[in-house]
């Protein structure tokens, strides 16, 4: 199972919105509504931000939203804040009953 | 509250095996899956495997099948991950995390595994 495709980096200024894409195939993202997103700060464990395409766990800011169209999922962060600077990963369930991560996207808040 | 606690750092020779433990508390152990995820130095996250502690069923990443074994001990609420035939590319931080089949929520602190001759 190949890693899902994410842009290596994105950037934005405080207050702006950014979108991170995550492209897979009909064997993973396109097959189920089982995409989740994780935020990872340096030297920290990842944190769940979105699950099952659009759902936010309790405690996650509503500035984080997500969607899916076909084989591509997207994470949008609105009203960028300095603490949003981190690495972001998508994760999808697959038709092989396994999971696969995206390659990760480094978000820089300018 | 939910806690996931892993065993400590390991240093192994190439060709050896490593076994890491992951103990979950704060919830009914058999209710949630345990996943293993690793991160090589400066690299992204790699999903490795998951186990359903309730029934013991497992799923593995294709590239690790044959080298990776997960077991669980319901008497101590602990899951074990054993990786064999270690090579330098297996040097990474190994995380266990609880969740459901298709996402993970509570993460352990990570276990550094270093493979070096």
Query: Each residue's pLDDT tens digit in chain B (117 positions)?
Result: 999 999 999 999 999 999 999 999 988 888 999 999 999 999 999 999 999 998 889 999 999 989 999 999 989 999 999 999 999 999 999 999 999 999 999 999 999 999 999
What sign for the dihedral angle of Cα B65, A94, B26, A63? positive
DSSP alpha helix (H) spans, chain A: none
Q: Are B97 and B105 in contact (CB under 8 A)?
A: yes
pLDDT in tens, A1-51: 789 999 999 999 999 999 999 999 999 999 999 999 999 999 999 999 999
Averaged pLDDT, A58-68: 97
Between positions 36 and 75 of A, the ones with CB within 8 A of B are 36, 38, 40, 45-48, 51-52, 57
Residue B39: closest C-alpha in chain A: A45
Count how many Cα atoms sit within 13 Å of the Cα of residue A29 in the half-sphere of its side chain: 26
> Testing the interface with A: which of B34, B103, B109 to mutate, by most A Cβ within 10 A?
B103
The closest alpha carbon to A63, from A18, A102, A107, A105, belongs to A18
């Amino acid at each position: 199972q190949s890693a899902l495709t994410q842009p290596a980096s994105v950037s934005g200024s405080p207050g702006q919105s950014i979108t991170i894409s995550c492209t897979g195939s009909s064997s993973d993202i396109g097959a189920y509504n089982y995409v989740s997103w994780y935020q990872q700060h340096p030297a920290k464990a990842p944190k769940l931000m979105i699950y099952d395409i659009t759902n936010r766990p309790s405690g996650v800011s509503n500035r984080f939203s997500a969607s899916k169209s076909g084989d591509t999922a997207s994470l949008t962060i609105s009203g960028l804040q300095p603490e949003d600077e981190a690495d972001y990963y998508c994760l999808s369930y697959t038709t092989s009953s396994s999971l696969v991560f995206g390659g990760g996207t480094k978000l820089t808040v300018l | 509250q939910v806690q996931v606690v892993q065993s400590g750092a390991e240093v192994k020779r190439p060709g050896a095996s490593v076994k890491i433990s992951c103990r979950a508390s704060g919830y009914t152990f058999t209710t949630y899956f345990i996943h293993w995820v690793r991160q090589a130095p400066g690299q992204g996250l790699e999903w490795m495997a998951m186990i359903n502690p309730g029934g013991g069923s497992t799923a593995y990443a294709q590239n690790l099948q044959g080298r990776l074994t997960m077991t669980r001990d319901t008497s101590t609420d602990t899951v074990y991950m054993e990786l064999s035939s270690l090579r330098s590319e297996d040097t990474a931080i190994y995380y266990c995390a609880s969740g459901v089949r298709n996402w993970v929520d509570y993460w352990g602190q990570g276990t550094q595994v270093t493979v070096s001759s």
